[in-house]
Structure 1
Amino acid sequence: MHILDDLKARGLLNQATDEDGLRKHLSENTVTLYCGFDPTADSLHIGHLLPVLMLKRFQESGHRPIALIGGGTGLIGDPSGRSTERQLNSVDIVKGYSDSIKEQLASILHFDASESGAVARNNYEWLSSLTVIEFLRDIGKHFGINYMLGKDSVESRLENGISFTEFTYMILQSFDFMNLYEKENCTLQIGGSDQWGNITAGMELIRRTKAEKGEEDAKVFGLTVPLITKSDGTKFGKTAGGAVWLDPEKTTPYEFYQFWINTDDRDVIRFLKYFTFLDLQEIDALEKELEEAPEKRVPHRRLAEEMTTLVHGKEALVQAQRITEALFSGDVKNLNAAEIEQGFKDVPSTTIEDKEIALVDLLVTAGIAKSKRQAREDIANGAVYINGDRNQDVAYQLTDADRIDNTFTIIRRGKKKYFLIRY
């Protein structure tokens, strides 16, 4: 199947310039394409995953992706999709962010010396050496003010105001496309739907500079993926705890797994098509399973498995599944300290120094019970569990044997209220 047909079947082709020409271009050439990622934080989040995976899809079809890290444009700020100005970060901060993002991209794309091997580039390399005179004379002259004002990324900001700094973002991104076209024969730029104006502006800059030199039109193309929306109206990639990051230190593999497994029934098949590399026939079969036995949540588990393995690896998936099963069953004593750190990251916790402590005293100290009287009643009534095991001994003393990896004790009160004791 031609890659454009696969993208269409998955609902991933939002807009494309000269689709017939692009189809022919992809069929006849090993195409170099790029997508840009501005380092606005020290990690990508799952809102970035779709364009990253688009690069991977093209790579697996034999084409050569460039992951462009916006070390230069990240110092300016992209007005697309925003109602206010971005906070400007220092050069050192943006460089640190850029290095982190490059590592994350390398874990998903294949960076090697083969014909379709991905490469990372940083536009700080060429933007930082531009002089103001060069920028205005050689690049800025090709952009009419009316043309720029007509772009969605600028027009949507006029009411609330846009600085000259962010106004020039389109020109800088256009220069990126021209630079990659001239130096690396990059003929296709992809991005989110909010990048359409910037992509077509880059194509126009390439055509104008070619015409200025008396050369024939360049065969360059643009393609965008759709904006991801959730059926319940909430923003994709956001949870009660904030963004879902690719960095395991910011969003643990367990939390990452849980995000996908909790996908709404109305979204899960669409997300399988968007984010996984499963064959479309297999996804159709999963859709039938959802229709016939929705309570089994088979597609949800498959989505969570595929995405966790892709981003964090097989070992992290196994760990996330162990934590999930332990929390579901209540049998948490077989988890290790690292797994407890992940699975109980957001539960109330208390640090104690006592080598031995009475269970009644612990419940009060940790805020699990309001008083010793209530603590004794909860224990006697069978509402208190230590590492998954019910304990009804009101005189019980916790010892080293109650510590998991000599680091944690997990107290559960009732069916679902967990508390983490650290030593």
Structure 2
Amino acid sequence: MTDIFDELQWRGLVAQSTDEAALRKALADGPVTVYCGFDPSAPSLHFGNFVQLSVLRRMQAAGHRVICLVGGSTGLIGDPKPDAERVLQDKDTIAESVARIQQLVGPLLDFEGDNAALLVNNLDWTAPLSALDFLRDVGRHFRVNQMIRKEAVARRLESEHGISYTEFSYQMLQALDFLELYRTRGCILQIGGSDQWGNITAGVDLVHRAEGATVHALATPLLVDSTGRKFGKSEGNAVWLSADMTSPYAFYQYFLNVEDASVVAMLKALTDRSREEIGQLEQQVASEPFRRTAQRTLAADVTTLVHGAEATAAVQAASEALFGKGDLGSLDLRTLGDATAELPGADVPVGTPVVDALVAVGLVDSRNGARRAIGEGGASVNNVKVTDPDRVLEEGDFLHGSVAVIKRGRRSLAAARRA
């Protein structure tokens, strides 16, 4: 078993913890049982959640026992938002999201073998509880003066919206998870994002009050985008792990476009690359940033973890083909659709002159500009240079009968979608 705490620190995955010395000793004396919870308030996990899954993967690889909890009950309530009351989702919607998330987590952890991960749903132990049982057995261990000091609660109390008892009670429900897993699975460590620290420590306190036991908590830093916003569904910038919400191509491209200032931190946090490998990539960022070797490595590694090696190979081929280094015609329909979905474009009928198509998709401002681009050798259809200014788009130009990729210069691309 490795000294996983030092490893997590080097990878930038420790923002804060309860008694660090005691936690280090528990991990060194382990194996320990650790859990992380994910609320199904959306039908997919997102990139921010992947950070926690990365920690669970590292814990399991180091020999610790890991539990992935999907919040079938906590998802019905919702963690308090800082600015307004959540819109509660119906039970069927939450149940569908639980099922999707359970399927999503499957490939990211090892659920077989001697140290198999465990997947649980907190609805299994909260649904049988009556309101009286919950208030008597759980509520009596909480102090309101402590609960209102939690950051999310305090901010809502100071706002014009206030906070409902439903959302106020969320921290008790999440704390109950830790108590249940401590009692039934011997779980002594909960991990989560630093924005969950108040809820996590509520669980630590509940286990101590109810069982007289000392358990531990570890929070990871929130990874933020270039504007300083955290990644998440409530922020409107979520990169989803489900392929039907963020395509593998868009997922790969997101990491391929990570700025130099962030790429090394993401390599440490999200990939299995060694210190030596990441050190070499860091040197390349400094000496040859134009090659974007670190970004390519990051994009390939994370996409493979989430979507598999086959999907990664497909999106890499699409990325190369779009910029003239491969055959666009060899791409399957889905990959082609994903690769062209974000391009500017327009609906264009078969038989449209390329001159008009260049104008329609927005690559030039006028027909004269289009003729000039063709005359200068700077226009192409599906990576084949156009030399005849009277050329029209034929049926065969629309790959899979749906889209023709039109290019002006080396980097300006657009999609002519068959009308």
Please report the TM-score for the alignment, with normalisation by the length of structure 1. Answer: 0.89
- Deviation, 1:164, is 0.9
Q: 1:56-77 CA deviation, whole Å, 9 max, x = no partner? A: 1111111111111111111101
* Residue 234 (structure 1) aligned to one of 228, 231, 256: 228
SS across alignment from 2:106: helix
Partner amino acid, structure 2, of 1:342:
D
- Report the equivalent of 1:125: 124
Q: CA deviation at 1:129?
A: 2.0
State the Cα distance separating 1:173 from its structure 2 match.
Answer: 0.5
Partner in structure 2 of residue 146 of structure 1: 145
Residue by residue over 1:370-393, the C-alpha shift from the partner in whole angstroms, topping out at 9 and shown as x without a partner, is: 776665565455453211122232
269-278 vs 52-61, which moves further: 269-278
Q: Give the aligned partner of residue 197 of structure 2.
A: 196
Aligned CA distance change for structure 1 residues 176 and 334 (closer, same or farther; 3 Å): same
The Cα shift of 1:397 comes to: 3.8
Query: CA separation in 1, counterparts of 2:374 and 2:135?
Result: 76
Which residue number corresponds to residue 344 of structure 1? Answer: 340
1:15 is aligned to 16
Tell me the equivalent position of 1:107.
Answer: 107
**Alignment partner of 1:42: what SS?**
coil
Q: 1:8-407 residue pairs with structure 2 within 5 A?
A: 8-79=9-80, 82-112=82-112, 114-160=113-159, 161-210=162-211, 217-230=212-225, 232-237=226-231, 242-329=237-324, 333-336=328-331, 337-351=333-347, 354=350, 356-360=351-355, 362=357, 379-380=374-375, 382-407=377-402
322-331 or 34-43, which moves further after superposition?
322-331
Q: CA deviation at 1:144?
A: 1.0
Contact 2:40 2:94 in 1 (8 A): yes
Q: Which residue matches 2:406?
A: 411
* Consecutive unaligned residues in structure 2, runs of 5 or more: none
- Check whether the contact 1:379–1:394 (CA below 8 A) recurs between aligned residues: yes
Q: 1:293 to 1:348 in 2, by over 3 A?
A: closer
Question: 1:357: Cα distance to partner?
Answer: 4.8
The CA distance in 2 between the partners of 1:380 and 1:218, in whole Å, is 79
Contact 1:64 1:115 in 2 (8 A): no
- Tell me the amino acid that sits aligned with residue 94 of structure 1: I
Unaligned runs of 5+ in 1: 211-216
Structure 2 residue identity aligned to 1:78? D
Q: CA deviation at 1:11?
A: 2.1
Give me the whole-angstrom Cα distance separating, in 1, the residues matched to 2:339 and 2:348. 20
- The structural deviation recorded for 1:225 is 0.9
Following superposition, the deviation at residue 197 of structure 1 comes to 1.6
- Tell me the SS of whatever aligns to 2:96: helix
Whether contact under 8 Å (1:77, 1:85) holds in the other structure is: no
User: Over aligned residues, Cα RMSD in angstroms?
Assistant: 2.6
TM-score (norm 2): 0.90
Query: Bigger shift: 101-110 or 344-353?
Result: 344-353
Change in 2 beyond 3 A, CA 1:309/1:137: same
C-alpha separation in 2, matches of 1:288 and 1:350 = 42
Q: Distance in 2 between matches of 1:288 and 1:373?
A: 47
| Residues in 2 aligned to 1:4 and 1:333: alpha-carbon distance in whole angstroms | 46
Q: 1:300 to 1:398 in 2, by over 3 A?
A: closer
Once structures 1 and 2 are overlaid, which stretch shifts more, 70-79 or 282-291?
282-291
Distance in 1 separating the partners of 2:364 and 2:349 = 19
What is the identity percentage for the equivalent residue pairs of Structure 1 and Structure 2? 40
How far apart, CA to CA, are the structure 1 residues paired with 2:52 and 2:265? Answer: 16
Q: Name the CA distance, whole Å, in 2 between partners of 1:270 and 1:361.
A: 46
In structure 2, C-alpha distance between the alignment counterparts of 1:40 and 1:17, rounded to whole Å: 28
Deviation at 1:305, TM superposition (A): 1.6
1:238-273 CA-to-partner distances (Å, cap 9, x unmatched) read 799832111122212222122112222121111111
Question: How far apart are residue 415 of structure 1 and its match?
Answer: 4.4
In the alignment, the residues of structure 2 paired with residue 226 and residue 366 of structure 1 have an alpha-carbon distance, to the nearest angstrom, of 42
- CA 1:256–1:278 in structure 2 vs 1: closer, same or farther (change >3 Å)? same
Report SS of the residue matched to 1:157. Answer: helix
Tell me which moved more, 31-40 or 278-287: 278-287
Question: How many residue pairs end up in the alignment?
Answer: 413
2: CA distance, partners of 1:83 / 1:178: 29
CA distance, structure 2, for counterparts of residue 46 and residue 323 of structure 1: 22
CA distance in 2, matches of 1:250, 1:418: 24
Deviations 1:116-175 (A, max 9, x none): 211111111222222111111111111111011122232222211211111000100111
Q: Secondary structure at the match of 1:243?
A: coil
Give the superposition deviation at 1:398.
3.3
SS in 1 for 2:190: strand
Residue 48 of structure 2 aligns to a residue whose secondary structure is: helix
The residue type paired with residue 267 of structure 1 is S
Q: Is the 8 Å Cα contact of residues 71 and 95 (structure 1) preserved in structure 2?
A: yes
Q: Quick check: 373-382 or 241-250, which moved more?
A: 373-382
Distance 1:249 1:291 in 2: 36
Read off the aligned partner of 1:209 and give its amino acid letter: A
